[in-house]
Chain A
Amino acid sequence: MTAEPAPAREVVRSQARRPGGRASTPAPDDLYEPDAYGRELLASLMRAQGGACVTVLLPALALLALYPLLTAIFPWLATAQVAGLPLTLLILGGGIYPPLVLLGYWYVRRAERLEQQFVELLKEQ
C-alpha cells in the first residue's frame, strides 16, 4: 500500500557513529544537515513509521480480503447462519468494525511510542 518496502523496525535506536569525528549521539541539528548522516537519520525514522504503518495495514487487508475470498471458495460459508442470523449480516453489519477500530488505536499507541523513542534518541546528547 505504501511505496516503502518491508522495514527493519528498530533502526531508530541505532547508535551509528557519524563521519567526521563528531559526537556519537545525534542532535536535532543533524537532521537538517545535508550530509549522508542526516539523510540516514531521516530514513530510519521513515522506515520505523512506515513499518508501523505496514504492520497495521497488513492484518486489516487480510481481514477485508480473505472473507470474500473464502466465501467464493467455500460457498457454504456464504449462506451460513449463526444463532438464526446470516453470518454475512453479523460480519458486514457490525462484526468487522471492532477489529478495525482496535487496529487503529493500536497503531496510534505504537506510532506515538516510536516518536517518543526518536525524540529521546535526539535528546540524549
Chain B
Amino acid sequence: MTEPATVVAIITVTAITAIIGARGVRVARTPADFLVAARQVPAPLNASAISGEYLSAASFLGVAGLAMLEGLGALWYAVGYAAGYLVLLAAVAAPLRRFGAYTIPDFAEGRLGSQALRRAATATVILICGFYLLPQLKGAGVTLQVAVGGPVWIGVVVLGGIVTLGIASGGMKGITFVQAFQYWLKIVAIAVPALILLAFVQHPPVANVTGAAPPTFLHKTAVQFPQSEVISVTAAIDVTASGKVDGVQRDGPLVLTKGRHSVDGGATLTFPAGAHAPHVEANPVMSGEAWTSPLLQLGGRPDHALAATYGVLLATVLGAMGLPHILVRFYTNRDGQAARRTTAFVLLLLGFFYIFPAVFAVLGRMEAPGLYTSGQTDSVVLVLPRMMAAGSLGIVLGALVAAGAFAAFLSTSSGLLISMSGALSHDIMGGGVRAFRGSAIAIGIVMTALGLAVLNISINVLVGWAFAIAASTFCPLLLLGIWWRRFTWIGAIAGLILGGLASSIAVLLTIVGVGASGWPAVLLSEPAIWTVPLAFAAMIVVSLATPRFVPADVTQQLLALHLPERVRLRSAADRGLVTQPGS
C-alpha cells in the first residue's frame, strides 16, 4: 500500500532535520565544536537532545510491539531504559563531566593512563554502536515498507545515506538542536495518536486484555499477510480468503479447520466478528491472565520468568550508562551540577514518553488481534491509527506516527555514527575535521551494507545485544573508574575483554538457535545476569592482583572527577598533568 500523507511526513521530518542541522554548521569551526558543541548547551535543551538521541526504534516501535506479543511484562524494557538514567545521574553524570574527557576512550586513557586500554575501549565503542545501529536501519526499512511498499532494503539505504551525509556535513552543534527537536516530535507523534485512539474505545473489550481466552476479533476484519506465515487455528473459522492458502489459490469463502495452515505473502484473510484470532505458530498464544503478568516471559513462556525479568532489568539499567553516543552528550553540560540537572530532566522526559508504548500495546491487543495472526505485532504503533480511526483522521495520525518513527531512526543513528566516527578518527586516523568526515562516510557505507545483511535478524535481539554488551563492559569501567582508587588498566582490559566476549558469544549462540528453552534460553538470551557480575569480578580481581599498575597520579585523577568546579585550583586537564610523586 502507498500512503502519500505518510511519505510527505517522512520527507518533511528529514528536511527539517537537514535544515536545522545545516544552520548549525555555521557555528561549528573546530573538531571540538563538532564533537561537543563547544559546551554551550543549556540543561533543558540538552536533556531534550539526550532523550531525542536515546529514544530509538526499540523505544518507539519495539516496546509496544513486544508487549503486545509477549505480555505486559515486556514493559520492563521501558522501565529499565528509563531507570538507567537514575544510576547514570547518581553515580556517573557529574564526575564524568568534571573529568573533562570527550569520549569513553578518553576517559579510560586519562583515568588509568594506558594506550592499550584506550584501544580496547575504542573497539568496544565500535562494537556496541555497530550493533545498535543495525536495528535502526532495519526499523527504517520496515517503516518505509509499511508506508510505500516495496522491498525493505530501500529504507535501509535511504536512512544510511541521509545519516551519513548529515554527519559528514553537519557535526554536533547542529545535531544538538536536531536531537532536541526530535524528542518533541517523537513525544507528540506517539502521545497524540494514543490519546485520540483511547477516545475511540467506547465499550472497552477488556476480555481481550484480562480474559481467560486468547483475544477475539471485535468486528469483521481483513488481515493482510506481508510475508508468508504458518498460522495455528484453535477452532474451525469461516473466512473469506484471497491469495494462496495451504498452497492453493483461493478467492472466496473458505473454512479454516483446526490446526496448522500456511498462508502465502500477499494473501488476505477476512475473519468474522467474534472469532478467536489465530496466531503465528512460532509465536506464543497467551490468555489474558498470562498476558497481564508483570513478569517478563521470553517468547511468551512462563519458565524462569523472574530470572528473565532481572536479566532484562540488569542489562537495560546498567547498559544505558554504557552507550557511547549518549555519554558524549554529558560534555555539552556547563559543569557537573548542570550535568546532574540535565540527567534528572532526562529521567522525567523518558518516564513521560514510556507511558504511551504501554497504551499502544493494550489498544493493539484489544482492537487489532489480527496482528497476532499475520505476525506483525512490531508494527502495531504504525498501523493501529489506520485501523481504529476512519478517513482522514486515520491518515493524518498514521502519517504522524510514521514521522515519529523515522525521527527515532534518524536521531539514534546520527548519534551512533558520530560516536563511531569520533572514535575511529581520533584513535586511528589521528584526529581533525577531515578525518572525522572521512570516518563518517566510511562507517556509514560499511554499516549500511551490514544492515542489508542482517535483515532477517530480529530488531529486539540486536538492541538487546547492544545493551547487554554495554552493561558488561563500559558500566563496570565507568563505575570502578570513578569510585575505586585501586583500579588498574590491566584489570580494566581484562573486564572489557571477558565481559564483551561472554555477552557477545551468549547472544550469538541465541541467534544461531542454541538454548531454545529452560535455563539455557534465559542465560543466553539475557546474558547480563551473569556477564555483568563476571566483568565486575574480572576488573576487581585483576586490579587487586596488579597493585603496582595503580596510576601514580590517581589522586589527581580522582580530584578531577569529584572536586566541584568552584574549588578547583586549575582546570582538571592542566592539573592532571602536574603530579608530584610522593612527598
Contacts and interface: CB of A to CB of B under 8 A. Distances in A.
A32 B337 contact: no
A72 B295 CA distance: 8
A42 interface: yes
Interface string B132-159: 0000000000000000000000000000
Given A3-B480, A46-B562, A56 B351 contact: no
Say what secondary structure dominates the interface of chain B.
helix
B319 to A, nearest CB: 14
Main secondary structure of the interface of A (DSSP, over half): helix
B289 A79 contact: yes
A86 B292 contact: yes
B233 interface: no
Given A104-B85, A112-B337, A64 B79 contact: yes
B484 interface: yes
A104 to B, nearest CB: 4
Contacts of B80: 64
Interface in A65-85: 65, 67-69, 71-72, 78-79, 81, 84
A72 B305 contact: yes
Interface residues of B, number: 65
B555 A39 contact: yes
B44 to A, nearest CB: 14
B314 to A, nearest CB: 10
B351 A3 contact: no
B583 A92 contact: no
A65 B82 contact: no
Given A3-B480, A31-B563, A103-B86, A111 B209 contact: no
B91 A57 contact: yes
B496 interface: no
B562 A49 contact: yes
16 contacts: A2-B483, A32-B575, A39-B555, A65-B310, A71-B294, A79-B210, A89-B362, A92-B73, A93-B362, A94-B354, A94-B358, A100-B83, A104-B86, A111-B340, A118-B564, A119-B566
- Chain A: interface residue count, which band? 35 or more
Contact of B293 (A34, A64, A79, A101): A79
Nearest to A35: B583
Contacts of A96: 79
Given A32-B569, A53-B90, A68 B295 contact: yes
B111 to A, nearest CB: 14
B454 interface: no
A104 B347 contact: yes
Contacts of B340: 107-108, 111-112
Interface in B468-494: 479-480, 483-484
